[in-house]
Structure 1
Amino acid sequence: MNFQEAVKTCFSKYVDFSGRASRSEYWWFVLAYVIAAIVAGLIHEAVYGLVVLAFLLPLLSAGARRLHDIGKSGWWLLLGLIPLVNLVLLYFTVQPSQAESNEYGSPPLATAA
């Protein structure tokens, strides 16, 4: 999955917390968020706030789907609220996809995960 496909997919599935997201889909979308946040921050703090609000729900749903891809519940995202323990969440998101189907569905079609 490339950058453009990942951004389009994550915004179109912004309220879809079911299913699975490949590593490439998740990390391309995170990169899009970081770039948009930096550019918006350079423009004005109000624009930055709008970008953060626009990306909030899609980032949460992409994160939940990414955790589903490795066989974890989306509720693990709550680790992001605990300082230092949230590094476990980073570890989870960089893990390779489960090759077989799990309780959250079949593997994403993107083979370059």
Structure 2
Amino acid sequence: MNMKEAVTSVYSKYATFSGRSRRSEFWWFVLFYLIVSAILQIIDRAVFGTATGPVGGPPQQVSIFAAIFSLVSLLPNLAVGARRLHDIGKSGWWLLLGLIPIIGTIILIVWFAKDSDAETNAYGPPPGA
């Protein structure tokens, strides 16, 4: 699976939390998301510059385009994360571990990098089967 197929797949299953997603689909989407977010941050900075902060405070960056992209991509991000956890036999509710600083994020990254279950599990057959 390449990046185009992964991104198309994730956005076509915009809010589908059932089923399973391959490791490659998840990580290609994460890479796409990070690249687009970085580009939009640069465009925001070039177009809007920085806003003045409170008196005596540091200037604050205005990120309108990046914020809109993040909002549009919120549901697909959550859905592909849940489907990726389903692929290793875990409930999508485990995404809430990301709310625990550092430790929760590390656990989720390890699980997202874990190899898929080869057999059918409670969440369906392996992707591509």
Q: TM-score, normalised by structure 1?
A: 0.95
Aligned to 1:67: 85
Aligned to 1:5: 5
1:69 Cα deviation from its structure 2 partner:
0.1
Residue 59 of structure 2 is aligned to residue 40 of structure 1:
no
1:8 Cα deviation from its structure 2 partner:
0.2
Residue 34 of structure 2 is aligned to residue 15 of structure 1:
no
Aligned to 2:127: 108
Q: 2:68 aligns with which of 50, 62, 66?
A: 50
Report the residue type matching 2:27 in the other structure. W
- The alignment-based identity, stated in percent, is 54
Higher relative contact order (CA 8 A, sep 6+): 1
Residue 96 of structure 2 is aligned to residue 81 of structure 1:
no
Aligned to 1:90: 109
1:14 Cα deviation from its structure 2 partner:
1.2
Q: Unaligned regions of 5+ residues in structure 1, if any?
A: none
Q: Distance in 2 between matches of 1:21 and 1:4?
A: 15
Count of equivalent residues: 110
Q: Distance in 2 between matches of 1:38 and 1:51?
A: 11
1:102 Cα deviation from its structure 2 partner:
0.1
The structure having more radius of gyration, on CA atoms, is: 2
Q: Unaligned regions of 5+ residues in structure 2, if any?
A: 45-62
Deviations, residues 46-83 of structure 1 (Å, cap 9, x unaligned): 00101111111100000000000000000000011110
